[in-house]
Amino acid sequence: MLSFFKDYKWFAIVFSIISLIIIFIFYNILNVEKPLPIYQPNRVDTTLVDSTIQHVKKYHKIADFSLTNQNGKTITQDDYKNKIYVADFFFTTCQTICPVMTDNMVTIQNKIKNDNEVMLLSHTVTPEIDSVAQLKKYALKKGVIDDKWNLVTGDKGQIYRLARKSYLAVKDDGLPDDYGMVHTENFMLIDKKRQIRGFYDGTNTEEINKLLKDIEKLKKEYQN
């Protein structure tokens, strides 16, 4: 019996080493960081999605837009071309979740202010109240950096369609008004192809930290 083990000692050592190498390789393969998901309308809470696109399973992108920012400048999709950006919906007179959301957006702004790849975009859901002057006043109060973060107003119908048909982010208020929106705490992470790559609770610090990590993860996609 001892002779048997002696004869196969080196075989056992080599076999063990090879096994460890194989296990190590498989471990690294299985732990490769997965890319962020690409959200399609059929994967999102139906209360946030216009009924006409709830069936869509692929090719969803943020639609073209033309809105006006806090400086009276027309902002379109071209201002975000080849950019990663975080979008949300808010209004300046909101006294509930908006102040927390805006403070957290300021936190994100401060983290990405020197990053030319990343921008922010906030849409008002009360454009009848949030004029350019009102947005400018709000921007100054919150310390908005103009070349990093656009607060936009414009046609309510366009904003509603963007919210429900592009960003999949707000609820319909169910009232007779054709463009009644109930905004949510959602922050959306948009990639350079205008695809939604993440939804985050804009009132939750842990979610904001996750969003910042996901921005870095998304940037790596473009480095590979």
One domain for residues 60 and 26 = no
pLDDT, tens digit (0-9, with 9 covering 90-100), for 30-48: 446 789 999 999 999 999 9
Across 55-180, the runs of DSSP E, i.e. the strands, are 66-68, 74-76, 84-90, 118-124, 149-152, 171-172
- Which pLDDT value is given to residue 177? 75
One domain for residues 120 and 189 = yes
Residues at the annotated binding site for Cu cation?
94, 98, 183
Backbone angles phi, psi at 124, to 5 degrees: -80, 140
One domain for residues 27 and 45 = no
Is residue 79 a contact partner of residue 67, using CB atoms and an 8 Å limit? no
One domain for residues 90 and 150 = yes
Q: Quote the number of domains for the chain.
A: 2
One domain for residues 183 and 84 = yes
- Which pLDDT value is given to residue 125? 95
Which range marks the domain in which residue 69 is found?
41-223
One domain for residues 12 and 59 = no
Residue with tokens 């400018």: 136
One domain for residues 24 and 123 = no
One domain for residues 97 and 144 = yes
Distance CA(19)–CA(16), nearest Å, equals: 5
One domain for residues 78 and 182 = yes
One domain for residues 121 and 48 = yes
Distance CA(110)–CA(8), nearest Å, equals: 63
Give the predicted TM-score (pTM) of the model.
0.85
CATH number for position 86: 3.40.30.10
One domain for residues 94 and 27 = no
Residues at the annotated binding site?
94, 98, 183
Residue with tokens 């904003």: 159
pLDDT tens digits in sequence order for the chain, 224 residues long: 545 445 555 554 555 566 555 554 544 444 467 899 999 999 999 999 999 999 999 999 999 999 999 999 999 999 999 999 999 999 999 999 999 999 999 999 999 999 999 999 999 999 999 999 999 999 999 999 999 999 999 999 999 999 999 999 999 988 877 788 888 999 999 999 999 999 999 999 999 999 999 999 999 998 86
Buried b (16+ CB within 10 A) or exposed e, 191-204: bbebbbbbbbbbbe
One domain for residues 177 and 81 = yes
118-124 and 84-90 as β-strands: parallel, antiparallel, unpaired?
parallel
Query: Which residues face 122 on adjacent strands?
Result: 88, 151
pLDDT, tens digit (0-9, with 9 covering 90-100), for 89-118: 999 999 999 999 999 999 999 999 999 999
